[in-house]
Structure 1
Amino acid sequence: MALFSVIALISFWILIYSSDYWTVIGLVVFLSIFYTPIQPLQDAYAYETVSTLGLNYGPMRSWGSIAFVVATLIGGWYLTFGEPAELLFLTVGSLGLLALLAVLLPGMPSESRSSSKESVWAAEELRDPQFLLVVLSGGLLLGSFSALYAFASIFWLSVGISDAMVGGLWAIGTLAEIGIFVWGSFFMRHLGAWGLMVTGGVASIIRWMLFPYATETWSAVLLQLLHAGSFGMVFLGMVAYTSKLVSSKRLGTAQGLTQTAFGVVMGVSGIASGWLYAIEQAYAFYLMAGICCVGVLTLMLVTKRV
């Protein structure tokens, strides 16, 4: 994690001073190789502390969401007088802090040289159909956010919601997500990982089906509160599910597979939603609802319900 953070830091630093199109493309591709695995490695480490030290994952993860809100506010404040490209320096600083903290962390008890040399697909638990179904369903449910990230702000502005309120809507969604993480143990006890993912999936279907009709501030606020389920519950359930189905020494790889599924679905659906949004705004969000329906149906095939 420390090594990847340093490589990502250097890549971002070079990116700041790059202007050639193909140089930027190459840097972004190179950066994605090392930047993308950082979060699954963090989740794997965090869940190992849950199993070995009895810590609560939800409150730990909530600090990531809080940091997102703080970083967004700082970025918005900086843009009132600074240049957008200069925000990359804040990213570089954050990655430097992450690298330092990663070096100071103790090693994971499950880490061993023998396991690191083993082929990923040699591990039977990573080929377990039940695990792969969870990975697929999680990828579908979380990948459905492509239309939100690409077009939500544009849509809200197009229906007359103010710039300031658009920022507020993003903050409301993140705060709802934080609530789920803080009270994660409560929901986990009552719903379990499978129940969390299904509940979150249903919330996603409702959210995306109604999104084109939320043209007033109050209705947009209500739908943003569903972010607690559509992201918070799905993400928390998927991470917990993975930790139950896969041993600690392969958690990093397992979390990486979930992130890969999420990234592939988001990439493909993002392109498709762009085409649909150009035809009719609502179609992009209906596509997301359809993807979530497939995700929930996939969960129904999972028999190891923890």
Structure 2
Amino acid sequence: MKKNAALLAIAGFYFFYFAFNGIFSPYWGLYLAGMAFPAWQIGILTSLTQINRIYAPALWGYLADKTGRRQLILRVAGICGFAFFIPLLFATTFWPILIAVLIGSFFWSAALPLVEATAMSLLKGDSGAYSRLRIWGSIGFVVATMGAGYLIEAQGVTVLPLSVLAIMASLALYCWWVPEAPKVAQQVAQQGRFLDIVRRPEVLALFASCFLMALAHGPYYSFYSIYAADHGFSKTTIAWFWTLGVLAEILIFWLMPRLNLRFSQKAILLFGLLIGAWRFAAIGWLMGSLVVLLLAQIAHAFTFGSNHAVNMSYIHRYFAGKHQAKGQALYIAMSFGIGGSLGGILSGLVWQTWGGAWVFSASALSCLLGALIAWRYLPKN
């Protein structure tokens, strides 16, 4: 497959992969709340996709690097991810839903690190070019969030499982079309063993900051919609809040090539972490101010958009060649996996006793700690 066709297939994959997130992140908690699940169960069920990112990407990444059959693994992941989400159409109690989402997201989580590694190989580690390709994921998120918001407003939140399945079916098709990764020359053998790279202080600091930023986002992805609804915002308005954040993300992805020319990777990373501290504190204590909420959503450009693009560049730098898929998998596991799931579960456990303001304050502190670690240990460039 020619490079342009390969990138088109990857763009389609990003669109539907993050369209799934665009439905699941804003509305899954509302769906569960509408079925009268208690907060601790909502915290667990909204964190299952993140929990699978702790171990599944590492398993799939190792298997892909070991066998060299990245495309075959991706196809199996797409088909099985769709099949195991089917029980959501009729499951109404905690354990059947937990099992369906746990298994379905086990396969779903396999796809992203494999495609990310393929994309970065095709783009030769260019984070600016990657950002502009990754825009299609953000567009998919916006389309799904807005479409589902109006659909749920009209038909009720029970339409969510069917919407999820439609997106997963489309994702399975694009998993089939993404090509095998280009062969990488073995000039990187001098990198040494995978664990030797992981133990380097700057790499540990990078993963720590990734973990803490994702930990801070855990309450946001699990309870932001519920928190906004408790403050009187409609589901359509909540959909617009999410959409504004992703539109800001799209803009920053488009601008990343220019930002890379003007600022160091470390400066962009630190700025995102500091903005994250302000953002989550503002969400926690100023939910009644529409202006502050709009600014907080625009800040998503830096707490996720530029932060993720810079992290991808660091990962490609430290884990090139033979360690690429494993490096991508470890990044996803440490951030979206351990960080995101732990943030969601812990926030579910303390949500009713602490209240939203203090939970989001804890998110702000997590960002500050991540900024301190990154400032101290990451190299200047």
TM-score normalized by the length of structure 2? 0.71
Q: Within 5 A, what are the aligned runs for 1:115-194?
A: 122=194, 124-194=196-266
Q: Alpha carbons of 1:142 and 1:91: their partners in 2 closer, same or farther (altered >3 Å)?
A: same
335, 341, 357: which one pairs with 1:267? 341
Matches within 5 A, 1:64-75: 64-75=137-148
Alignment of 1:220-235 (within 5 A): 220-235=293-308
Give the direction of change, closer, same or farther, for the CA distance of 1:55–1:6 in structure 2 (3 Å limit).
farther
- Distance in 1 (CA, whole Å) between partners of 2:85 and 2:273 is 35
How far apart are residue 82 of structure 1 and its match? 4.0
Q: Determine the structure 1 residue equivalent to 2:103.
A: 30
Q: Which deviations, in whole Å up to 9, do the C-alpha atoms of 1:186-222 show, x marking residues without a partner?
A: 1122223222211100100111222212422122111
Q: Give yes or no for the alignment of 1:294 onto 2:369.
A: yes
Which ranges of structure 2 fall in alignment gaps of 5 or more residues? 1-73
Partner of residue 103, structure 1? 176
Partner Cα separation in structure 2 for residue 67 and residue 164 of structure 1: 17
Does the 8 Å CA contact 2:218/2:340 hold for their aligned counterparts?
A: yes
C-alpha deviation, 1:123, in angstroms? 5.2
Aligned partners of 2:111 and 2:254: how far apart in 1? 22
1:200 to 241, 261, 272: 272
Identity value in percent: 23
Per the alignment, do residues 255 and 305 of structure 1 end up closer, same or farther by CA in structure 2, a change over 3 Å counting? Answer: farther
Contact 1:139 1:265 in 2 (8 A): yes
Cα separation, 2, equivalents of 1:18 and 1:121: 45
User: Which piece of structure 1 moves more, 149-158 or 193-202?
Assistant: 149-158
8 A contact 1:140–1:292 mirrored in 2: yes
Amino acid at match of 2:164: T
Aligned length: 300
Separation in 2 of the partners of 1:134 and 1:277?
Answer: 29
The alignment status of 1:10 with 2:83, answered yes or no, reads yes
Instruction: Evaluate the alpha carbon distance shift between residue 90 and residue 155 of structure 1 in structure 2; reply closer, same or farther with a 3 A threshold.
Output: closer
Distance 2:343 2:237 in 1: 27
**Structure 1 residues 88, 271: CA separation in 2 closer, same or farther (over 3 Å shift)?**
closer
- Residues 111-153 of structure 1 show CA distances to partners (whole Å, capped at 9, x for unaligned) of 79xx9xxxx9755334433223212211211221122223323
Task: For 2:343 and 2:172, locate their aligned partners in 1 and report how far apart those are by CA, in whole Å.
Answer: 33
Q: What's the TM-score once normalised by structure 1's chain length? A: 0.86
Tell me the secondary structure at the aligned position of residue 181 of structure 2.
Answer: coil
Alpha-carbon distance between aligned partners in 1 of 2:318 and 2:176, rounded to the nearest angstrom: 28
Structure 1 alignment gaps of length 5 or more: none
- Contact preservation (8 Å) 2:214, 2:343: no
SS at match of 2:124: helix
Residue 311 of structure 2: which of 238, 256, 275 is its match? 238
The 1-side partners of 2:127 and 2:315 are apart by 17
Matched AA of 2:329:
G
Match of 1:59 in 2: 132
Deviation at 1:37, TM superposition (A): 2.7
- Aligned partner of 1:210 in structure 2 is 282
| Cα deviation, residue 47, structure 1 | 1.4
Checking the alignment, whether the CA contact within 8 Å between 2:120 and 2:126 is kept in structure 1 is no
Paired AA for residue 208 in structure 2: L
Quick one: distance in 1 between partners of 2:155 and 2:232? 27
Contact 1:142–1:231 (CA under 8 A) maintained in structure 2: no
Q: Distance in 2 between matches of 1:218 and 1:146?
A: 23
Question: C-alpha displacement at 1:86, in angstroms?
Answer: 4.3
2:182 is paired with a residue whose SS is: coil
